[in-house]
């Protein structure tokens, strides 16, 4: 019998998840049907429960519902708990709803596997202290960077992350002004400026020689952050399309027990950054 999965968001028409998971299923011989569902802003939980009641096996969760996905779960993983958000749910026996957050794993896999940039021993900076950063901290820390730093327009929000993750990873935190005089091998923009087209107040010298500048937003071409990086002499820039594909592969593995190869899908979705 065909198993049903979906991605929930609002809006959701732009989502690449149906294409990605359909191709994963074809490549691995899995009998699934995957669709996109636009949940009402005030009806996420009802939509999830209705999908489960109709025979759904699991859902990916897009904006703006990742916090609500965590709240509806009966069994969140530790990384979902620390992130305070989930991007994937799995329905198992009875009323159990398992939750995980694969965004950070997808980010790390893209940087290391697809871009060939190991994080071990590197100085890594995350810009922004919201949910995207929270989800990325543990997977990045697991690769043993020399330094893991978070900068945010509101320093107190960055400092809160240092407190929340103190038992798991040492963090350097502060405002953008504290970055003056520092340089990093990997700088990741986890803010929403890629969507708003606003520039960040980045100091000169932020990018170390040979640095990678990574924009979590995808499909927007050269965002202001990537343009800032290029103006600073950074040759290696990337957007988040690989993160999207790799987190989808982690979800597929969690649901189906088989890991799809991501190369073909990634090649199809990648567009030049111009």
By annotation, the residues acting in catalysis are 66
CB-based burial, 250-265: b 16+ in 10 Å, e otherwise: bbbebbbeeebebeeb
Distances (CA, A) of 95 to 8, 58, 82, 90: 19, 13, 23, 11
Instruction: Return the sign of the alpha-carbon dihedral for residues 73, 74, 76, 80.
Output: positive
On the CB side of 48, how many CA atoms lie within 13 Å of its CA?
A: 30
Separation between Cα atoms, residue 257 and residue 114, nearest integer Å: 22
Contact 211, 187 (CB under 8 A): yes
Nearest to 8 by CA among 54, 69, 97, 57: 69
- The CA R_g of the chain, rounded to the nearest whole Å, is 18
Contact 214, 229 (CB under 8 A): no
Q: Three-state SS for 118?
A: coil
């Amino acid at each position: 019998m065909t198993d049903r999965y979906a991605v929930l968001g609002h809006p959701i028409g732009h989502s690449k998840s149906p294409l990605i998971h359909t191709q994963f299923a074809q490549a691995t011989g899995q009998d699934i049907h995957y669709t996109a569902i636009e949940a009402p802003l005030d009806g996420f939980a009802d939509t999830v429960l209705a999908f489960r009641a109709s025979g759904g096996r699991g859902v990916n969760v897009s904006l703006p519902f990742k916090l609500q996905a965590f709240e509806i779960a009966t069994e969140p993983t530790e990384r979902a708990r620390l992130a305070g958000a989930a991007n994937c749910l799995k329905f198992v026996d009875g009323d159990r709803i398992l939750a995980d957050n694969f965004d950070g794993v997808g980010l790390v896999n893209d940087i290391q596997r697809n871009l060939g940039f190991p994080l071990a021993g590197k100085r890594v900076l995350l810009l922004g202290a919201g949910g995207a950063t929270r989800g990325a901290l543990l997977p990045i820390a697991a690769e043993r960077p020399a330094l893991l730093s978070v900068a945010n327009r509101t320093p107190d929000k960055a400092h809160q992350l240092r407190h929340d993750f103190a038992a798991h990873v040492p963090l350097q935190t502060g405002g953008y002004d504290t970055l003056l005089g520092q340089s990093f091998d990997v700088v990741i923009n986890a803010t929403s400026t890629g969507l708003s087209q606003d520039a960040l107040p980045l100091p000169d010298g932020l990018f170390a020689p040979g640095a990678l500048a990574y924009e979590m937003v995808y499909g927007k071409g050269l965002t202001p952050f990537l343009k800032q990086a290029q103006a600073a002499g950074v040759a290696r820039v990337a957007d988040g399309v690989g993160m999207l594909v790799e987190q989808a592969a982690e979800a597929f593995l969690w649901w189906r027990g088989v890991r799809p190869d991501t190369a073909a899908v990634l090649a199809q979705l990648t567009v030049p950054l111009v």
